[in-house]
Amino acid sequence: MPSIIKTKIHWDIGTAYDLFISLRVLHEPERYGVRASWAAGVRSRVPVEFREVLEQAVLLRLVPLAFVYSTSEPKDAAQLLAKMRSIPAGELLEKITVLPNTLEDVREFFLATTPTKKWTNEDTQFLMQRLGIEDSKETKKLFKTFYDIWSNREEFGEKLVRGLQAYVDTFFAEEELRILPVLQQELSYARMRAGSRPLPAMLEEITSGVRYGDFEHLSDIILAPIFWGSPFMFSEHLTDSKLIALFGARPGTMSIIPGDVVPDGLLRGMKAMADPTRLKILRYLAQEPQTASELSKVLRLRPPTVAHHLTQLRLAGMVQVYLDPNGERKYSARYEGFDDTQDLLNRFIRGE
């Protein structure tokens, strides 16, 4: 019988983790429950010549946790950009692109891309199969962007650093000052909870309902708070037995929009319960845990539609998700989310 590894917890903090995540939120506001008009206003502050490269970074799903983790203290935007500038522009994309070890052939394919080596139909079929993407007009457009970036990665690297600096200058530098005290406070709370609860239970609590099923294989897990990605969890394997995971650290009583008096948690909760399909999903999940595909069949809805509703419920903390070692996600109702929404509503109306 194989021995079970006892997982050691390590802690980290840095506003640089929120740099890439905030860009994703601003470019996909609906997914993260953020007002689209406000997100567009923030994006418009960035000079026009840098907006495209930031959009491309979001398309590449760039959230390089290992890269940020290895950045010098205090792991803020300034230190992250200094590290990026220390790397030759042509090598930067490879350093910050996150692909699992099982997709090493995809990494090699990207690295072999040059302006003179156009992608063939066989190449795109290979990528779709390995990345699990269905053939569509959107996929063709996405792969064209991938090709343009990887075939001109030195130019992309130079533009990305300049674009990130422009984003920091026009918005994120001020945002760092706002979110750092929150990150410090939530990290302190999480460390206190870790001293009295088993790791799976503690992580489920601080992530508002994520159950991770792979702890017996991990020797180390690094936990760091994030403001912008709350309540979602972002993770990346540093090695086969070492994981870094970011947990949401924005209190439900606080808004992601500076100066907004209506708490995010209240808006997300009210929005989640105002849709009849989401109420049906909650009713089914209260009876037994189900996968998204199982819900799709019972509701007779397309999988993308079900995925959208589950995202909204996850934002509101009303469903919990179990991540098994094979990557399957199983959802169940999370009753704490209902209580939190009711409590926030009472406190907001009463002006507490």
Q: How confident is the model at residue 259 (pLDDT cuts 50, 70, 90)?
A: confident
CA–CA separation, 42 and 46 (whole Å): 8
Residue 2: the pLDDT is 46
From the number of C-beta atoms within 10 Å of its C-beta (0-12, 13-18, 19+), residue 35 rates as middle
Instruction: Give the torsion sign (CA, 62, 66, 70, 74).
Output: positive
Give the global pTM.
Answer: 0.85
Is 319:313 a contact under the CB 8 Å cutoff?
yes
Q: What is the pLDDT of residues 75-86, one digit of tens each?
A: 999 999 999 999
Residue 163: the pLDDT is 98
Strands 220-226 and 8-11: parallel
Instruction: Give the torsion sign (CA, 272, 273, 279, 283).
Output: positive
Least confident window among 79-83, 225-229, 266-270? 266-270
3-state secondary structure of 67: helix
Q: What is the pLDDT of residues 66-105, one digit of tens each?
A: 999 999 999 999 999 999 999 999 999 999 988 877 788 9
Q: What are phi and psi of 245, to 5 degrees?
A: -135, 135
Helices (DSSP H) in the chain: which residue ranges? 16-27, 36-45, 48-59, 65-69, 77-85, 89-96, 104-111, 121-131, 137-151, 153-167, 173-194, 199-206, 264-273, 276-287, 292-299, 303-315, 335-350
Query: How do the domains of the chain map onto residue ranges?
Result: 8-248, 264-350
Residue 125: the pLDDT is 92
Q: How confident is the model at residue 275 (pLDDT cuts 50, 70, 90)?
A: very high
At residue 3, does pLDDT exceed 70?
no
The arithmetic mean of pLDDT across residues 270-295, rounded, is: 92
Q: What is the pLDDT of residues 286-320, one digit of tens each?
A: 999 999 999 999 999 998 899 999 988 988 889 98
Is 66:243 a contact under the CB 8 Å cutoff?
no
Amino acid identity, position 218: L
The arithmetic mean of pLDDT across residues 204-213, rounded, is: 75
Q: How confident is the model at residue 262 (pLDDT cuts 50, 70, 90)?
A: confident
Residue 57 tokens, joined: 């970074």
If you average pLDDT over every residue of the chain, what do you get? 90
Q: How confident is the model at residue 49 (pLDDT cuts 50, 70, 90)?
A: very high
Residue 133: the pLDDT is 85
Domain 264-350 annotated CATH 3.90.1150.10: no
At residue 141, does pLDDT exceed 90?
no
Asked if the bond preceding 225 is cis, omega within 30° of 0, the reply is no
